[in-house]
Chain A
Amino acid sequence: MGRLVRASGFERFLISASALLLSVLIGAVIVLGAGRMTSCETAAYTLAFPGAFVTQFVGGDALFAMGFCYDPIALYDLLFLGALGDILNDPTNGQFATTIAETTILLFTGVAVAVAFRAGIFNIGAQGQLVMGALVTGVVLVYVAPPLAGLGVFAAVILLPLGLLLGAFAGGVYGAVPGALKAYADANEVITTIMLNFVATSIALFFVSREQFFKDPESFANQTVSLPDVAMFPELVFRARDDVSLLALAFGIAVLVGVWYLLRHTSFGYDLRTSGLQPDAAEYGGVDADRTIVSSMTLSGALAGIGGAVYVMMVLGNFQPGVPSYGFDGITVSILAGNNPLGVGFAALLFGILKSGSIVVQVGSDVPPALVGVLRGLIILFVAMPEFFRMAGRKFGSFHQPGEQPVATDGGTGGGVDE
């Protein structure tokens, strides 16, 4: 574990890559095992010795052969490459569009969780903050958008930023609540944010399922009235029905860079990182711990809330309860990225690929969805765990060997944190 804590960037990349490979190998074994336990007409995959490659020249049958109902190679091919679709011939194909859409929303929740993490706060509530952001954006835009619809492009110029602001505001307020509870009432943020997730879902359902509030009276489903097209992110190069927008993706990437800049180059970011790393040192340096907790939770909530706004304005076109678990996936994305805002981009892409790839697998093979879920989970678990232990090791461990002190190896009183 000490080695893990001290691993360099390249080593970390190697670790992640080999973890990915290992998870695929183990997943393949599971797929084969599951394939033996099911019954099917013809084997999708056959292990034989000597293999077909030899027997086709030599003639005769394999000495040993075993059939499996699922083909692990084809499955992983679908999972990873399926997410890209036929990208060479049709760069805007539906599969790839789904990948991009999923990635876009995870950028926001991932960076939301990362900001809180860097401040030393475990924000499990990104889901609730995202729901609140989505709800407020969807509900308010329904009233604001129609009168402006005639303005065309100008309406979009007003409505898109407004929608994002609404999402940020709602999510920010909803994140500030557990922040204030932690700062001024000493309430553990893990507990409060988890509870507030349920509260958010219930609030959303309450308002969207009653016609006297915001339910679309024309619809049987619990949902709000659809937004006019001018209030939606323009799809740009993608097809309209794929619910994806390069503009939203670009905005997401800009937000990542902005958050990175905020953390690295501003006094507020300095306060936030110091609080997260060493609360006592932050206090010594004049950082108001309570205020930093509230403001970083507000920021985190606002980022998740923007994710909700994007979800409404890019994917749904209205608000529907039963929001997918983007907020929870954001936690894993953040851990995968080592809580680095720029790393969130890559982690979210991996998640996007897996999400869209599993849809392809479900459609393109008879492998049950539950098994695909297992494979996805394995990959995420394997790739995230080294980074997770690294974080834990940095926080709690004592892995600074004397070798870390190249010149002044000689302690004085208490050299290094721990030896």
Chain B
Amino acid sequence: MTQTDTAVRLDAITKRFPGVVANDDVDLAVERGSVHALLGENGAGKTTLMNVLYGLYQPDGGRVVVDGQPREFDSPRDAIDAGVGMIHQHFMLVDTMTVAENIALGNEPRKWGGLAVDSEATRREVVELSDRYGFGVDPDQTVADASVGVQQRVEILKALYRGADVLILDEPTAVLTPQEVEDLFDVLEELTDQGKTVIFITHKLGEAMHAADDVTVLRDGKNVATVDAADTTREELAELMVGREVVLEVESRATDVGDVVLDVDSLSVLDDREVPAVTDVSFAVREGEVFGIAGVDGNGQAELVEAITGLRDPETGDVAFDGRSVTDDSRRERIEDGMAYIPEDRQERGLVMDFDLVENAILGSQHSPSFSSRGTIDWQQSREHADAVVDEYDVRPGNPDARAVSLSGGNQQKFIVGREFERDPRLVVATHPTRGVDIGSQEFIHDRLLELRDEGRGVLLVSSKLDEVQGLSDRLAVMHDGDLMAVVDPDDITEEELGLLMAGEYPEGYEPRDERDAMEVPQ
């Protein structure tokens, strides 16, 4: 293999799918030993391009050059042989096997003339590899017991074990906690220091700027620009991505706050393992305001929201909706009372993956008079509704007959948001409403959320994105370890102070909150 400065070069790659050009004449050059970010909105063609490089797709035009040699990959096997490895969003690991076994799977060192797996040699090789790049994984741990961050490292090690010099990571940070993201970036740096080349796909500006050396922006299947990460700004990248100026800050506060629409009183909730996840939480959401809950994921937000929306029975405490206790009401009654809910887990809860969008459009309203009469569903009505949501919320592909599973994550999210927002709700409970959604649509969702608020509906917003929850909320609670640390005015608090509260510490000037603070609406 000849060593060149360019590890991977894609020349004029074109890839078409029925009715759409996913990659249009895309050039890409990735320097050896660098981290290259592939940035773009949902549907810009990033993953398609990388699937071409990884041999999952054969391009309709153009060529792939690895290490200065033109290649034709018929399958990922060919790509791996040429030293290109890819780590998908969804890990392909055997849960019941150990870390070492997973890494070596299919390529294990053999003994007894190839008859048996040499598990000691496997373990030794894996430890060696892990130490060389400072991965620090425990080779004997069962994958099922490993955290998501560790599982991702195992995937990376698996690619390295197979001799990959170029690593492609598809949205590697989507599944990670902020701390794990930092660790991942350290690992990437270590890899490139030792001569490996990393390409990672992302739609997050900050990550691209922070972790990459070069950033290539794709838009509508075309390479818009490749820029040096050190020389660019967030605004420039954002503009390149969406093709127009975007305002990253949302600034508009509630003006007309009405009656309490949701009143949570001393609520305690257990999680799936019967461990207290929410302890004695009280707050209230009023008509015409956005009440935000910030916090690191896993501090009880999920359980709190499920108890409010009727998916989980609280241990003690009371949830009142529109002045009436709904603690004993079923999920369906709460939906019918006008509680819209954007769930955290869109693929398990928010959509039936095997249903098309027409069917998904009435999930939760299948008994409502707007879509059914005397038990019979009006599919025409449902189709019109699906059409409207797809149109207004820019769900792609714009075909209501598409099955939910065929949509990308961001488009699934847009569809759910649209369906819930258009329910004519009294209260919207939105959990990570823009997770995985491209910038253009994020802005639209934020605007719609504020519109709903201005129409006098209550909004409970739970998000781990600080800029989102701080920008949109009229009052902001910080949740830590199952409790609300404080309810603050989002305009008066700095990111540092928020960070401290999220970590469970009180910055100067903040006191542990009195339970009824929540009722005081700052004017």
Chain A contact residues, CB within 8 Å of chain B: 265-268, 270-271, 274, 277-278, 280-288, 394, 398, 400-419
Contact = CB atoms under 8 A, between A and B. Distances in A.
A243 to B, nearest CB: 37
B57 A417 contact: no
Nearest to A418: B90
User: In this complex, which of A270, A277, A412, A414 has the most chain B Cβ atoms within 10 angstroms of its Cβ?
Assistant: A412
A286 to B, nearest CB: 3
A366 to B, nearest CB: 50
Given A410-B47, A412-B413, A403 B354 contact: no
8 contacts: A267-B367, A274-B366, A284-B349, A286-B330, A286-B334, A409-B51, A416-B408, A418-B90
B377 A266 contact: yes
B377 A278 contact: no
Contact of B436 (A400, A405, A413): A413
Interface of B, helix, strand, loop or mixed by DSSP: loop
Contacts, number: 187
Contact of A411 (B20, B89, B359): B89
User: In this complex, which of A283, A402, A410, A416 has the most chain B Cβ atoms within 10 angstroms of its Cβ?
Assistant: A410
Contacts of A405: 406-408
A391 to B, nearest CB: 12
B46 interface: yes
A419 B375 contact: no
A340 to B, nearest CB: 14
B51 A268 contact: no
A152 to B, nearest CB: 37
Interface in B147-205: 170-171, 174-175, 201, 203
A254 B46 CA distance: 51
Given A271-B366, A285-B366, A404-B405, A414 B350 contact: no
B410 interface: yes
Contacts of A278: 348, 352-354
Nearest to B336: A286
A83 B198 CA distance: 66
Contacts of B376: 265-267
Contacts of A411: 42, 47, 89, 170-171, 174, 201, 408-410, 436
Contact of A267 (B47, B354, B377, B396): B377
Contact of A408 (B42, B51, B334, B362): B42
B241 to A, nearest CB: 12
A407 B379 CA distance: 26
B48 A402 contact: yes
User: In this complex, which of B40, B48, B352 has the most chain A Cβ atoms within 10 angstroms of its Cβ?
Assistant: B352
B270 interface: no
For chain B, the bracket of interface size reads: 35 or more
Nearest to A289: B331
A419 B379 CA distance: 31
A416 B20 CA distance: 19
A281 to B, nearest CB: 5
Contact of A409 (B45, B330, B347, B367): B45
B22 interface: yes
Interface of B: 17-20, 22, 40-48, 51, 56-57, 88-90, 170-171, 174-175, 201, 203, 311, 330-332, 334-336, 341, 343, 345-355, 359, 362-364, 366-367, 372, 375-377, 379, 396-397, 405-413, 435-438
Contacts of A400: 405-406
A360 to B, nearest CB: 42
Contact of A410 (B17, B48, B330): B48
Contacts of B346: 414
A266 B311 CA distance: 24
A415 B413 CA distance: 10
A268 to B, nearest CB: 6
A277 B352 CA distance: 7
B122 to A, nearest CB: 25
A288 B372 contact: no
A277 B43 contact: no
A381 to B, nearest CB: 27
Contacts of B334: 286
B349 A398 contact: no
Given A402-B48, A402-B51, 18 more contacts: A270-B377, A284-B349, A284-B363, A285-B366, A286-B330, A400-B406, A401-B56, A406-B18, A408-B410, A409-B43, A412-B171, A412-B203, A412-B409, A412-B411, A412-B412, A413-B410, A415-B47, A419-B88
Given A405-B408, A410-B45, A281 B331 contact: no
Contacts of A281: 348-352, 363
A409 B22 CA distance: 8
A399 to B, nearest CB: 11
Given A406-B20, A407-B17, A419-B90, A284 B350 contact: yes
A285 B364 CA distance: 4
B405 A417 contact: yes
A402 B436 contact: no
Given A278-B354, A403-B57, A412 B410 contact: yes
A285 B46 CA distance: 33
A151 B438 CA distance: 74
Which 10 residue pairs are nearest across A and B when measured between Cβ atoms? Answer: A412-B410, A413-B436, A286-B332, A412-B409, A408-B408, A412-B436, A415-B408, A408-B43, A413-B174, A284-B349
A191 B89 CA distance: 38
Contacts of B352: 274, 277-278, 281-282
A135 B35 CA distance: 74
Given A284-B349, A285-B366, A414-B347, A409 B375 contact: no
A265 B377 contact: yes
Contacts of B20: 406-407
B116 to A, nearest CB: 28
Contacts of A403: 17, 57
